[in-house]
Structures are given as C-alpha cells and as structure tokens.
Amino acid sequence: MLRNTILDLMNDHQSIRAFTDQPVSQEQIDTILTAALAGPNIQNFQPVTFIEITDQAFKAEITQVVGMKYIETATRFFVVAVDYSKDLIGLDDDQQALVIEKLKSYQIFEGGIISASIALGRAQIAAESLGLGTVTMAGAMGAYELYEERLKLPAYVKPIMGFSLGYPDQTPGIKPKLPLTGSLMKDYYRPEQMAQAVSDYNKTMRQYFAKRGIDSDWTQHNIKLFGQLKINHGLSAYPKAKGFDLS
C-alpha cells in the first residue's frame, strides 16, 4: 500500500481517554477547527457548530450522567451539534417558513449529521497532527437534557456527539479493523464476501483480545455490547423536539 505522513497519521489513530495536564492553547483549537470546518458539507449550509464546555463542574455533571470520565478529565471538551439555526438568520417570515418546512425532512437532518461527522473526522486528524489525542463519543448524548438546560440551544440546533482532546496520557494501541474486503465491494453487495471478511477478522480480534486477557472475538464481543446497550427512547424523540420532524 502507498504511504505518506498523512496516511500514516490516519492509519495510526488511537482513541485517547486519558490526558495530561498540559494545556491546549486557543491557537491550537482555532487551527484544528478551521481545518475541520474547511471540509465538505451539505449544500454549503455549514450546519455544524462546536460548543466548548469550559465549566469543570458542568463537565463533571455530564460525566456522572454518561459515565465517561474522559469528559471531566479532558483538557478541552466540545459538544458537536447539527445547527441549521444559522441558515435562518436574515430571512423574512416567508423565507423562514420555507426553510423550516424543508428542515422537517429526514434528508436535511441526515445531511447535517454527515456534515458534522466529516468535520469531526477532520478535527481528529488535525489534532493528531499537532501531537494531541482525541476521542469522539456518541454516548455523550446521554446527557442531552443537560445540554438543553445549560447550553441555551435554539430550535434547529441538536447536539449529536461529544469530542474530547488533549495531550495523551496513555498509549492504548491501534485496534485492528476489518480487512478491506469487509468494507469495500464492487458492483453489488456480496454477502459471502462479507461473511468471509468477518470470519477472518474474528481470528484477528481473538488474538487482539487475548493480549488483553479477554476470551472473545469481534462477533462475540458485539453481541455482548448489544445485550448491555440501554436504548434511550428520549433520544429518539429529541430531533422532533428541536424542530426536525423527519417526515
């Protein structure tokens, strides 16, 4: 495979959940988020906003709700939101009504989620290029009621992810991923190809887990996680409460 410094950086990604006390400057944050938001987004609506939470007591409260210590202990922590409120600014009543009607569609909301996901991926690469570590957290949305209460979020602004960064205080190692045959197909979907890729990957992950004292493979680990997963039905209704009816 081809290699260069950017590809090596991307392939060497590790999710960091422990950070040192070394500060991260505002210049670093501005550099990271400028690069993150320079990426593609739906129709150039730019429906992504990073909201940094600097109140340590609030970060601790979020951590207590979602059980993720690396929110409270992160040097910098952000809530990443789909934000179409900015697209309503400067419109008259009729124009706003037109946009709001469009915002009810799943198509537009999904475009915002994809745009935010692209920005987050770019933010991770930018941060890691500066020697920082990061972790993204869908589970941070378990505290959505706190975000609504404290962050003064208007309609059409819905948090979707947490993002912690700082200087790494751990080296968890690179977690193996599915072989490319498990994520790349040509012309049509091949279930037999996927089954073989998963079988091969299970062998890889059994070795990976064994080094960590775990007797499992990827399939077994996944069913365990699905069994433990608690569905927050409030999150299913949350988009509609923010104005995304998803019709």
User: What are the structural domain ranges in the chain?
Assistant: 5-172+232-241, 175-216
Residue 237 amino acid letter? A
Task: Specify the length of the chain in residues.
Answer: 247
Give me the residue label for tokens 């550099």: 31
Q: What is the pLDDT of residue 245?
A: 85
For each successive 10 residues of the chain (247 residues), what is the average pLDDT?
A: 95 97 98 98 98 98 97 98 98 97 94 98 98 97 97 97 98 96 98 98 98 97 94 92 88
d(CA 94, CA 89): 13
pLDDT at 166: 98
pLDDT of residue 65: 97
- The 10 Å Cβ neighbour count of residue 4 is 7
Q: Residue 246 has what pLDDT?
A: 83
Q: Say if CB 166 and CB 52 are below 8 A apart.
A: no
- Taking residue 113's Cβ as centre, other Cβ atoms within 10 Å add up to 17
Residue of 238, 229, 177, 227 whose CA lies nearest to 202: 177
Burial class of residue 137 in the structure, from the number of CB atoms within 10 Å of its CB (0-12 exposed, 13-18 middle, 19+ buried): buried
Q: What does the DSSP 8-state code read for residue 143?
A: G
Task: Determine the CATH number of domain 5-172+232-241.
Answer: 3.40.109.10
**Whole-Å CA distances, 196 to 184, 185, 192, 209:** 13, 13, 6, 20
The answer, as to whether pTM is greater than 0.85, is yes
73 and 18 Cβ atoms separated by less than 8 Å = yes
Q: Where are the alpha helices (DSSP H) in 151-243?
A: 191-210, 218-228, 233-241
Q: At 4, phi and psi to the nearest 5?
A: -155, 180
Q: Token pair 């593609």 is at which residue?
A: 40
Beginning with the edge strand found earlier in the chain, give each strand of the sheet holding 76-83 in spatial order: 48-52, 76-83, 157-166, 133-137
Predicted pLDDT at 247: 74
